[in-house]
Amino acid sequence: MALDSYLNSIHLNELPIDRFVCVKETSYLTGQAVSTVWRKVKLGAFPKPIRISAGMTRWRLSDIQKYMEDPQAWIENNAEGK
């Protein structure tokens, strides 16, 4: 449970902007359940992760921060077909 302790101690503005975050960290930062993050990715309503390897996907923290600034605007600006 070391990740849980870490997640409880972080603040978004204290994290380096150019780092990758896992789905659990993404979930914590956005206040959304892990399943909701994946559902929104599938619907195009959340930033897509980057596949690092066959079993590893990560998000750029900067993408998550842009989404969190204004989720509705992010969705409108990043809708499929635009």
Instruction: Please choose, from the candidates 18, 43, 22, the residue with its C-alpha nearest in 3D space to the C-alpha of residue 34.
Output: 22
CA distance 23 to 25: 5
The count of other CB atoms within 10 Å of the CB of residue 37 is 21
Domains of the chain: 16-77 (1.10.1660.10)
pTM of the complete model:
0.75
Tell me whether residue 59 is exposed, middle or buried, using C-beta atoms within 10 angstroms of its C-beta: 0 to 12, 13 to 18, 19 or more.
Answer: buried
User: Strands, E, within the chain: which ranges?
Assistant: 20-21, 50-53, 56-60
Q: pLDDT digit of tens for each residue in the chain (82 aa)?
A: 566 666 666 665 666 667 899 999 999 999 999 999 999 999 999 999 999 999 999 999 999 999 999 999 999 998 765 5
CA 5, distance to chain mean position in Å, is 19
